[in-house]
A = this chain, B = another copy of it.
Amino acid sequence: MKVAILGCGFIGGSLAAALRRRRLASSITGYDIDPLTAARGVALGLLDASSSTAALAVQGVDLVVLAAPVGSIPALFGQIAAEIGPDSVVTDVGSTKAGLIGAARAELGRAFEHFVPAHPIAGGERPGPEAADPDLFEGCTVVITTSAETRADAVLRVEQMWRSCGARIAQMDAAEHDRILACVSHLPHVLAYALVAHIAGRADSERVLSLAGPGFRDFTRIAASNAQLWRDIVLANREAVGSELQELIAELQQAQAALAASDARALQELFELASRTRRAFGERQDGP
């Protein structure tokens, strides 16, 4: 299987590493909007070659993986549309789905039926191909959100690739995916960014941060994420994120009212529900 990976950062690089280790690709060609990033992917042994354009990278390959930031994927559809062969499959790793599917439908034309929208739910703290991890997708969930037009054989090829990399497949509607991810990923990023920006805006922010403990470190880790990437993700999913944010603000206003009234019972109920839920989740996810 000849593979092209468009976007050779942490996720693209990790997929290349996973395919390599499992000998799932006869060749991997990379393209990145920053040619140096693709060149580093080659130097690291993740890629066999790098191409100077997306169109060149995808010529004659069996599988194209769009692993660029969500905001850059629509432009890539346009650049590769003419090069998608009748037996080629295109997939992506974008964190939002409905908007990308709309862009794919508009840009890919006839090749739209070869496009399998996918989202491996995985992440890391460090960017770039240097941080690539061949085991990143072991045990992770890959959500696939097909349309009525998507070819079944294309879906099968993408599912097989992810399963071979150790992932589980979950199929769902793109709109449901976007609502759920707004809840468990996009909204937490907005909250973490807002909290750290709030602290950064204080005159005594250095002193404040000097007293931050391990809970704060974990809670705000995602606030170190790439600002432009996440700006594009929340904009691409702005309806769902906006609606979740509105509900969360209402929840916080209730907590504030309970606090102002010293309503110990209301606070206890809120905290108890969360604590019970997070513990049960932790037992399932964190393992023993």
Residues on A lying within 8 angstroms of B by beta carbon are: 121-123, 140-141, 143, 170, 177, 180-181, 183-185, 187-202, 204-205, 207-228, 230-231, 234-235, 238, 241-242, 244-249, 251-253, 255-256, 259-260, 262, 264, 267-268, 270-279, 281-282, 285-286
A194 to B187, CA, bound (A): 12
Partner of A259, one of B180, B205, B241, B262: B241
Q: Known contacts A215-B123, A215-B221, A219-B219: does B238 contact A193 (CB below 8 Å)?
A: no
Partner of A195, one of B188, B207, B215, B235: B188
A5 to B194, CA, bound (A): 39
- SS of A interface (majority): helix
Q: Looking at A123, A185, A198, A245, which has the most chain B CB atoms within 10 Å of its CB?
A: A198
Q: Looking across the interface, which residue of chain B has its beta carbon closest to that of A270?
A: B197
A259 to B248, CA, bound (A): 15
Query: Which B residues lie within 8 Å of A195 (CB)?
Result: 187-188, 191, 248, 274
Partner of A253, one of B249, B251, B286: B249
A272 to B215, CA, bound (A): 22
A259 to B241, CA, bound (A): 8
A256 to B267, CA, bound (A): 25
Q: Looking across the interface, which residue of chain B has its beta carbon closest to that of A188?
A: B219
A46 CB, nearest partner CB in chain B, Å:
22
Q: Looking across the interface, which residue of chain B has its beta carbon closest to that of A237?
A: B259
A25 to B270, CA, bound (A): 41
Partner of A281, one of B141, B212, B226, B272: B212
Partner of A270, one of B193, B222, B270, B274: B193
Query: Which B residues lie within 8 Å of A141 (CB)?
Result: 210-211
A232 CB, nearest partner CB in chain B, Å:
8
Q: Known contacts A187-B195, A252-B249, A267-B234: does B273 contact A211 (CB below 8 Å)?
A: no
In the A-B complex, list the 4 residue pairs whose CB atoms are closest, starting with the nearest: A227-B271, A196-B274, A193-B274, A200-B277
Q: Looking at A241, A248, A279, which has the most chain B CB atoms within 10 Å of its CB?
A: A248
A181 CB, nearest partner CB in chain B, Å:
7
A256 to B202, CA, bound (A): 21
A251 to B190, CA, bound (A): 10
Query: Which B residues lie within 8 Å of A216 (CB)?
Result: 184-185, 188
Q: Known contacts A211-B143, A262-B238: does B218 contact A248 (CB below 8 Å)?
A: no
Query: Which B residues lie within 8 Å of A201 (CB)?
Result: 273
Contact B238 A200 (CB under 8 A): no
Contact B197 A274 (CB under 8 A): yes
Q: Known contacts A141-B210, A218-B221, A260-B242: does B277 contact A190 (CB below 8 Å)?
A: no
Contact A185 B198 (CB under 8 A): no
